[in-house]
Structure 1
Amino acid sequence: MKRIVFALIAALTAAGAQAQDAFPSRAMTMIVPFPPGGVADITGRPTAAAMEKILRHPVT
């Protein structure tokens, strides 16, 4: 009985993964909740640029 339940769970999990779109399907938006020119902005811009290189997808 345990084998049947395990096989059923594994099959349902695999079916859900195949139904998903490729991530990310559109440009990612990085939100920095502080005004431009502050420390968070100065840190956020290079972080977004590094994410673009790693993910090979635009980060705005």
Structure 2
Amino acid sequence: MVHGGPFPATSDARTTSVGTAAIERFLRPVAYQNLPAELLPAGLDDANTLGLPRRIDGR
């Protein structure tokens, strides 16, 4: 969304409504490395109960 001037908003690309740092508010990196199997979400367990396509050890 770009807001560059008074109402109605313009398409001036020099200003934005969210800024370049906005992604940090929505980014939530999560790592499951070395997490016990019983604590993994359903799609990440060894049985792959949700049947999600995934790569394990490059395969």
Higher share in helix: 1
Q: Which has the higher contact order (CA 8 A, sep 6+)?
A: 1
Whether TM exceeds 0.5 here: the answer is no
Pick the TM interval, shorter chain. Answer: under 0.3
- Largest Rg, 1 or 2: 2
TM-score between both structures, scaled by the size of structure 2: 0.26
